[in-house]
Amino acid sequence: MAMCAALRCVSANFSAALPLLTRPAHIWTCQNSLRPNVLRTLSTSSRLSGALKFTDKHEWVRVEGTVGTVGISNFAQEALGDVVYCGLPEVGAKLEQMEEFGALESVKAASELYSPLTGEVTEINTNLTDNPGLVNKACYEDGWLIKMTIEKPAELDELMDEAAYEKFIKSLDS
Amino acid sequence: MILRLSNRACVLSGSARLKSTLSTFFDEMGKAGIILKSASTGIFENLALEDWIHDHVDLQNRSMLLLWRNCPVVVIGRHQNPWQECNLPLMRRLGIPLARRRSGGGTVYHDFGNINMTFFTSKKKYDRHRNLKVVTGALKALRPDLDVAATDRFDILLNGNHKISGTAAKLGRTSAYHHCTLLCSVERSVLSSVLKSNASEVIKSNATPSVPSPVKNLLDVDPTLDSNIIMDAIVSQYNNEFGFDGPVITVDPTHEALMPGIQKMAQDLQTWDWIYGKTPKFSVCTSIVVNDVNIKLDMVIKNGTVEQCAMEIPEDWLPSEMVNEFTSALNGSRYCSNEAALLVAAFMRTHSMTDDVAEKIHRLCAGVVSVM
């Protein structure tokens, strides 16, 4: 096959959104570092303190400033089994509290994810694309799912704090 | 006649139940286990029926089994890539549609020789092994010598080596469903040809893959086993296994008054955005050969739409501005052979070019379309 003198590579990349993978790594400091199988109980948790709040669907949200980070609890990841795929929303998606925003596929089933709050998605955890198992290995840290704005801070008061959530999951076993 | 109660003399008429939905009807029946048969063979209507039951029926103290069959269709799992899983051009030629279901799992081919079973329970009672015991139990009750067994992947194997059933599931807020197939008398030659992708080698993706398995029909080992006999056996076994005395009710999934919102659910399942647009981001990397010239094509497809498109073309083969415009035209378009063909036709109309160039663009397009 004759190759001509110059090969010109012509590409057109009109995508407005650069792939998130090219962004520099986000350094995220966690005030309460929690190992998956140890839950520290906190006496007070103001809205801005970074404490975890839980839904009865086993999602957690951690508030830092005006941004909430969302993930699933240890109880949930154990019940799910090995996560093989994370179906997450786009950045900019507007979510209502309790609205389905995605699904995690595990060896058990496709499980829907429900938004703990009303707000807009500001970031999704792109590490989960190649490493969905992070949801099992570090559900409160590297296995976070999305970050979102908090449109209705009062919704946080409706959620359970860690102690209440612990009680809640104990009651489920009965 | 929307509801027929087989084994019971009375028939429910629509007018007497105008205020009721299917959900309240079940509540009033007061049975812990109910068996439904769908009156439809349309995949979208049946998938919508599953969704409707899952969303609206109280399954905390009640379980249900739905039996359904479809006209020929390929069904992919929620997070799968259809271009990677099946032969879309062949399916189009054969008139076989594609559907994406909401549960996980792999790609399957349905036709009238396949029985689908959906087991609805509360999340607490979700137990796939037990459900599959109903199926294997039913088959063994019919033919005690039949070698059928469930694996830990929740497949059912015949004679230890041929797959006759695959499983998928969805877990919702408070309830769950587990559905599985059962190959009775499916057209196996169609099955194997449509489930072999024409483009899998050129696709790179992290979508959930299928696990291909050799399959067999139950009819192959016993010509007296037909779908109706098998469905009856499954109904009995379901009642036995769970201690129910569930009646069998036939439901028409197009009946909007009985199941408010179901028609929209069926429509949502048929949108391009759901079927194709839900495909996880993937890239296509292939070479198109036109008259001994090798053209490298790289594309990134997100939400079923071309997000990036690059072609490596020798400088003197086609003018570079033309190539630029060609790739720009593809950008932002749906990864769809019909749409690509329309784009190229429009491109040809709006750009003056020699016959030679036109021929090359045509061949380029054919190459691009061959992986769609």
Q: For residue range B9-45, what is the model confidence (pLDDT) as tens digits? A: 333 444 444 557 899 888 888 889 999 999 999 999 9
Tell me what the mean pLDDT of segment B273-292 comes to: 92
Tell me what the mean pLDDT of segment A37-46 comes to: 41
Chain B residues close to A1, C-beta within 8 Å: 292-294
Query: Per-residue pLDDT for B325 more than 80?
Result: yes
Whether A4 sits inside 8 A of B103 (CB atoms) is: no
Q: For residue range B53-72, list pLDDT tens digits in order.
A: 999 999 998 999 999 999 99
For B280-347, where are the E strands, in sequence order?
A: 282-290, 293-302, 305-314
**B370 confidence band (pLDDT: 50, 70, 90):** confident
| Rounded distance between C-alpha atoms, residue A119 and residue B223, angstroms | 59
Assigned architecture for domain A54-152: Beta Barrel (2.40)
pLDDT score recorded for residue B13: 43
Question: Which of A109, A100, A105, A82 shows the shortest CA–CA distance to A146?
Answer: A100
Top residue of B47, B79, B103 to mutate, by most chain A CBs within 10 Å, is B79
Whether B103 sits inside 8 A of A5 (CB atoms) is: no
Q: For residue range B249-279, list pLDDT tens digits in order.
A: 999 999 999 999 999 999 999 999 999 999 9
The structural domains of chain A, with segments of one domain joined by +, span 54-152
Q: Which amino acid is at B76?
A: I
Query: Per-residue pLDDT for A39 more than 70?
Result: no
pLDDT score recorded for residue A172: 80
pLDDT score recorded for residue B270: 98
pLDDT score recorded for residue B3: 54
To the nearest whole Å, the CA of A31 is away from the closest chain B CA by 30
Tell me what the mean pLDDT of segment A25-30 comes to: 40
**B166 confidence band (pLDDT: 50, 70, 90):** very high
Write down all domains in chain B, each with its CATH number in brackets.
Answer: 2-275 (3.30.930.10), 282-369 (3.30.390.50)
Question: Which of A53, A43, A40, A72 shows the shortest CA–CA distance to A141?
Answer: A72
Q: For residue range B98-157, list pLDDT tens digits in order.
A: 999 999 999 999 999 999 999 999 998 999 999 999 999 999 999 999 999 999 999 999
Q: Which of B170, B300, B327 sits opposite A10 (nearest CB)?
A: B327
Does residue B120 contact residue B32 with C-beta atoms inside 8 Å? Answer: no
Whether B314 sits inside 8 A of A4 (CB atoms) is: yes
Q: For residue range A90-138, list pLDDT tens digits in order.
A: 999 999 999 999 999 998 899 999 999 999 999 999 999 999 999 999 9
Chain A residues close to B207, C-beta within 8 Å: 85
To the nearest whole Å, the CA of A113 is away from the closest chain B CA by 8
| Rounded distance between C-alpha atoms, residue B320 and residue B295, angstroms | 13
pLDDT score recorded for residue B20: 75
Query: Per-residue pLDDT for A72 more than 50?
Result: yes
Q: pLDDT higher for B132 or A5?
A: B132
Top residue of B54, B78, B102, B211 to mutate, by most chain A CBs within 10 Å, is B78
Whether A110 sits inside 8 A of B316 (CB atoms) is: no
What is the average pLDDT value for chain B, to the nearest integer? 91
Whether B173 sits inside 8 A of A114 (CB atoms) is: yes
Q: Which of A5, A9, A112 sits opposite B312 (nearest CB)?
A: A9
Whether B315 sits inside 8 A of A4 (CB atoms) is: yes
Rounded to an integer, what is the distance from CA A115 to the centroid of its chain? 10
Residues shown for chain A: 174
pLDDT score recorded for residue A6: 37
Whether B102 sits inside 8 A of A110 (CB atoms) is: yes
Chain A residues close to B317, C-beta within 8 Å: 4
Question: Which of B328, B272, B285, B280 shows the shortest CA–CA distance to B302?
Answer: B280
How many contacts, defined by CB atoms under 8 Å, are there between A and B? 106
Whether A108 sits inside 8 A of B171 (CB atoms) is: yes
Report how far apart, in Å, the C-alpha atoms of B7 and of each of B244, B284, B364 are. Answer: 16, 56, 62
Whether B79 sits inside 8 A of A7 (CB atoms) is: no
Q: For residue range A133-170, list pLDDT tens digits in order.
A: 999 999 999 999 999 999 999 999 999 999 999 999 99
Query: Per-residue pLDDT for B52 more than 90?
Result: yes
Task: List B116's β-bridge partners, or say none.
Answer: B68, B181
